[in-house]
Chains A and B, each alone.
Chain A
Amino acid sequence: MSRTASRLDRKMDLLKMQEKEGLLKSKEGSRAVGKFIQNKLALIGLVVFAVILLSSIFAPLLTKYDPAMIDLRARLSPPSWEHLFGTDKLGRDVFARVLYGGRISILVGFGGALGAALVGVSLGTYAGYKGGWLDKILLRVSEIFMAFPQIILVLLLVSLLGQSLWNLLVIFTITGWGSVYRMARSQMLSIREEEYVQALKAFGLSDAIIAYKHMLPNALGPIMVNLTLSTAMFILEETALSFLGLGVPLHIPTWGNILNAAQDLTILQEAWWIWVPVGLVISAFVLSINFVGDGLRDSADPTQQG
């Protein structure tokens, strides 16, 4: 205790001296950015996130294999220099499949989150600003959608339209917009009382301009955080649905489809390299997004002094 106190004192003495000599300048640039950078977990998250994202995008540069290329001579071979993560039952290179699979999985995660955000924000912004019956109705509807069992919706769509990437995006949008809606709406409810909004009203500006142009930018911070967190959630859901064979068609590599192979008991027991690396990548990616999201939230929150 006394040691930490004296360390704090020394830090204070240093600052006092520097200030006296006029060395310290008020920092240009945003305080939020500074705080984000100081948050180590968020920074690590950002790095991991970037590494995984970039390696997926530039997959062809990192591996010479085609993820769909079947090589029956090299079935189920364990990791080696030739095949970093080994090969699967059909002799496809698992490393390449993880890289290329990332493309689809991340796309589905982001796409779903974006779709949900688009619907949720555009409805929530207007309804939150206008209030009244429109808001009441949408609030109930959003509750219904949020309470609706997702798996039934999935089964319904899959049986109607067959498996596809687009199905997943539609499903994620349908099930996800509710929470974004509620969040955007509650943001708008508090911004609505700000005096600058009253002033715009006193000029008789149209509702859409007030809501979307003037109010929405002030609500974007929390919405962005929500976007990152729901991306992580949707990636996990894609994995889960693909694992059950309800997501993206099996021949397209996605993280979920790679894991799907582990349904086979012999693979689970004997070919660990097929599912352990991809599991780790998924965990790392989801965690990193969560850290980034938390970091964003903290740095955007002015009540978190520091």
Chain B
Amino acid sequence: MDTILTVDNLHINFYTNNRCNEAVRGVSFQLKKGRTLCLVGESGCGKSVTASSIMRLLPPLSRIEEGEIIYHTDQGDLRLHELDPNGPEIRSIRGAEIAMIFQDPMTALNPVYTVGFQIREAFMYHTKMAAAAMKEKAVELLRSMRIPAPEQRVNEYIHQYSGGMRQRAMIAMAMACNPQILIADEPTTALDVTVQAQIFDLMNDLQREHNAAILLITHDMGVVAELAHDVVVMYMGDAVENGPVEEILTKPAHPYTSALLRSIPVLGQSKSQKLEPIRGSTPDPYNRPKGCQFRPRCDFATEKCLQDPETFDVSADHTVKCWHWEKVLANA
């Protein structure tokens, strides 16, 4: 399998309000062609920040401190983390080769242009297509997103779309140029399950037809089980566990992953199951615990956990950042 993107030991800090927040502290993963990687974890753990750093779209008061983001193209490797975030190289990649679906569609779509215009603009910038063909392709894309009456909708503005349709319009734009890498930041949280299912089908098509790599951010374990090939679990900026989906969901080696799985209701088990909430609450990012970030809430914690845990190999491509992962596995 070809690796198309490598993120290695990524650290990102935020410097807002005259404080320093280590939003991402050592995340590593690889995106592979034709595979889907899911990034899961609770709100504020750094999923969106990681994703937007790949596109070099971080907000102004933040900085990549350490680590590498490498895009492997046919012409050789591109070190994305070294590019000027406003420079021509990254701009020619954005949208064409790496596309992103944002958490909030209103920030990504321009209210003063029609949806069709914005899709055509993407074509204009990245491809050489005749005007008529572009128009047709835009309609085609909206149709494939199951937006009703696409011929008419293509000439409408974003405020005339419903929430779900906005999301789909943005997905249409992201998919417009058949990107190599599609980053989807919670693309379906605002949508109904029936519409969500349609959109996942479309992402699957993109993957099958163009062998695209997908980085999907979600906190729905159901979505993970259904779409992911690989999973990265994040907690407070750390990538605590990383591995193939079957292993993560059935044999979690990190206490956080296993606690997370025990705290969500599983469909089909009705009231017989017992939910075990994770005790305590997420720490304040400005007042982090020493050593392992999960320590105050962890059942396995010992003295040793006051030191930052190292990365251990559970199996060939399953890694975990926990001192006592063997105990966790044995306990399952």
Spell out A's residues near B (CB within 8 Å): 9, 11-12, 15-16, 18-19, 24, 26-27, 31, 305-306
Q: Are A24 and B20 in contact (CB under 8 A)?
A: yes
Contacts A9-B63, A12-B63, A26-B286; A19 near B19 (Cβ below 8 A): yes
Spell out B's residues near A (CB within 8 Å): 13, 15-20, 63, 65, 284, 286-287
Q: Are B16 and A19 in contact (CB under 8 A)?
A: no
Chain B residues closer than 8 Å to A31, beta-carbon distance: 17
A15 to B, closest residue via Cβ: B20
Most buried by B among A19, A27, A306: A19
Q: Are A16 and B13 in contact (CB under 8 A)?
A: yes
Chain B residues closer than 8 Å to A24, beta-carbon distance: 18-20, 286
B286 to A, closest residue via Cβ: A26
11 contacts between A and B (CB under 8 A): A9-B63, A12-B13, A12-B20, A16-B13, A16-B15, A18-B20, A19-B19, A24-B286, A26-B19, A26-B284, A305-B16
Min CB gap B292→A, angstroms = 18
Chain A residues closer than 8 Å to B286, beta-carbon distance: 24, 26
Main secondary structure of the interface of A (DSSP, over half): helix
Cα distance, A305 to B13, chains bound together (Å)? 17
Q: Are A16 and B20 in contact (CB under 8 A)?
A: yes
Min CB gap B66→A, angstroms = 11
Chain B residues closer than 8 Å to A305, beta-carbon distance: 16
Cα distance, A9 to B286, chains bound together (Å)? 20
Q: Are B16 and A15 in contact (CB under 8 A)?
A: no
Min CB gap A3→B, angstroms = 16
Q: Are B15 and A11 in contact (CB under 8 A)?
A: yes
Cα distance, A148 to B17, chains bound together (Å)? 47
Most buried by A among B13, B15, B65: B15
Q: Are B20 and A19 in contact (CB under 8 A)?
A: yes
Min CB gap B102→A, angstroms = 18
Cα distance, A27 to B17, chains bound together (Å)? 9
Cα distance, A213 to B243, chains bound together (Å)? 55
Min CB gap A44→B, angstroms = 22
Instruction: Taking A24-B18, A26-B286, A31-B17 as given, write out 18 further A-B residue pairs in contact, using a Cβ cutoff of 8 Å, ordered by the A residue number.
Output: A11-B15, A12-B13, A12-B20, A15-B15, A15-B18, A15-B19, A16-B13, A16-B20, A16-B65, A18-B20, A19-B19, A19-B20, A24-B20, A26-B19, A26-B284, A26-B287, A27-B17, A306-B17
Cα distance, A69 to B167, chains bound together (Å)? 75
Cα distance, A187 to B14, chains bound together (Å)? 33
Min CB gap B210→A, angstroms = 37
Cα distance, A4 to B16, chains bound together (Å)? 17
Q: Are A12 and B18 in contact (CB under 8 A)?
A: no
B19 to A, closest residue via Cβ: A24
Chain B residues closer than 8 Å to A12, beta-carbon distance: 13, 15, 20, 63
Chain B residues closer than 8 Å to A18, beta-carbon distance: 20
